[in-house]
Amino acid sequence: MILTCPSCQTRYNVNPDAMSPSGRVVRCAKCGHQWIEQPPRDMPLSVDLPAAVPLPPPQLTPHLREIRHATHAETGSRLLQDFFRRLRAKN
Protein backbone atom coordinates (compact mmCIF):
# COMPACT_ATOMS: atom_id res chain seq x y z
CA MET A 1 0.00 0.00 0.00
CA ILE A 2 1.08 3.56 -0.57
CA LEU A 3 1.20 6.11 2.24
CA THR A 4 1.28 9.80 1.55
CA CYS A 5 2.70 12.19 4.09
CA PRO A 6 -0.05 14.75 4.79
CA SER A 7 2.60 17.38 5.43
CA CYS A 8 4.94 17.16 2.45
CA GLN A 9 3.01 14.75 0.20
CA THR A 10 5.96 12.34 0.00
CA ARG A 11 4.70 8.92 -0.93
CA TYR A 12 5.95 5.73 0.62
CA ASN A 13 5.36 2.15 -0.40
CA VAL A 14 4.55 0.23 2.78
CA ASN A 15 3.96 -3.46 3.30
CA PRO A 16 0.28 -3.81 4.35
CA ASP A 17 1.34 -6.57 6.76
CA ALA A 18 3.11 -3.91 8.77
CA MET A 19 -0.21 -2.15 9.37
CA SER A 20 -2.33 -3.09 12.34
CA PRO A 21 -6.16 -3.09 12.01
CA SER A 22 -6.39 -0.19 14.47
CA GLY A 23 -3.98 1.97 12.51
CA ARG A 24 -0.33 2.71 13.05
CA VAL A 25 1.79 5.72 13.79
CA VAL A 26 4.08 6.41 10.85
CA ARG A 27 6.78 9.00 10.51
CA CYS A 28 7.79 10.72 7.33
CA ALA A 29 11.46 10.17 6.64
CA LYS A 30 11.66 13.40 4.73
CA CYS A 31 9.98 16.00 6.94
CA GLY A 32 9.67 14.07 10.19
CA HIS A 33 5.90 14.51 10.32
CA GLN A 34 4.12 11.86 12.33
CA TRP A 35 0.55 10.71 11.74
CA ILE A 36 -1.66 7.74 12.34
CA GLU A 37 -2.21 5.83 9.14
CA GLN A 38 -5.41 3.82 9.06
CA PRO A 39 -5.23 0.44 7.33
CA PRO A 40 -6.96 0.07 3.96
CA ARG A 41 -10.62 -0.93 4.14
CA ASP A 42 -10.02 -4.14 2.26
CA MET A 43 -7.34 -5.24 4.67
CA PRO A 44 -8.14 -8.75 5.87
CA LEU A 45 -8.70 -8.89 9.59
CA SER A 46 -6.89 -11.48 11.61
CA VAL A 47 -9.34 -13.96 13.05
CA ASP A 48 -8.75 -16.57 15.72
CA LEU A 49 -9.56 -19.78 13.95
CA PRO A 50 -10.41 -22.85 15.99
CA ALA A 51 -7.74 -25.50 16.13
CA ALA A 52 -7.70 -27.77 13.13
CA VAL A 53 -9.89 -30.80 13.63
CA PRO A 54 -8.29 -34.03 12.44
CA LEU A 55 -10.30 -35.64 9.70
CA PRO A 56 -11.66 -39.13 10.25
CA PRO A 57 -9.72 -41.87 8.48
CA PRO A 58 -10.79 -42.12 4.84
CA GLN A 59 -11.57 -45.83 5.03
CA LEU A 60 -14.17 -46.33 7.72
CA THR A 61 -15.43 -49.73 6.64
CA PRO A 62 -12.57 -51.93 7.95
CA HIS A 63 -12.60 -49.96 11.18
CA LEU A 64 -16.34 -50.48 11.62
CA ARG A 65 -15.99 -54.16 10.85
CA GLU A 66 -13.39 -54.43 13.61
CA ILE A 67 -15.77 -52.80 16.06
CA ARG A 68 -18.56 -55.18 15.05
CA HIS A 69 -16.21 -58.15 15.52
CA ALA A 70 -15.20 -56.85 18.92
CA THR A 71 -18.84 -56.44 19.92
CA HIS A 72 -19.66 -59.94 18.76
CA ALA A 73 -16.70 -61.37 20.66
CA GLU A 74 -17.74 -59.47 23.75
CA THR A 75 -21.33 -60.70 23.45
CA GLY A 76 -20.07 -64.24 22.91
CA SER A 77 -17.87 -64.19 25.98
CA ARG A 78 -20.71 -62.73 28.02
CA LEU A 79 -22.98 -65.54 26.86
CA LEU A 80 -20.28 -68.06 27.79
CA GLN A 81 -19.90 -66.49 31.20
CA ASP A 82 -23.64 -66.69 31.74
CA PHE A 83 -23.56 -70.29 30.59
CA PHE A 84 -20.82 -71.23 33.04
CA ARG A 85 -22.47 -69.26 35.81
CA ARG A 86 -25.67 -71.20 35.23
CA LEU A 87 -23.72 -74.47 35.22
CA ARG A 88 -22.08 -73.56 38.52
CA ALA A 89 -25.41 -72.56 40.01
CA LYS A 90 -26.87 -75.95 39.11
CA ASN A 91 -24.10 -77.88 40.78
Site residues (CB under 5 A) for Zn ion?
A: 5, 7-8, 10, 28, 30-31, 33
Instruction: Count other C-beta atoms under 10 Å from residue 83's C-beta.
Output: 10
90/11 Cα distance (integer angstroms): 99
52/23 Cα distance (integer angstroms): 30
DSSP, collapsed to helix, strand or coil, labels residue 22 as coil
- Taking the least distance from each CB to Zn ion, the nearer of 10 and 20 is 10
- Least CB distance to Zn ion at residue 24 (A): 16
- Taking the least distance from each CB to Zn ion, the nearer of 27 and 69 is 27
- Taking the least distance from each CB to Zn ion, the nearer of 8 and 64 is 8
- Least CB distance to Zn ion at residue 27 (A): 9
- Least CB distance to Zn ion at residue 37 (A): 12
| Residue 2 near residue 16, CB atoms below 8 Å | no
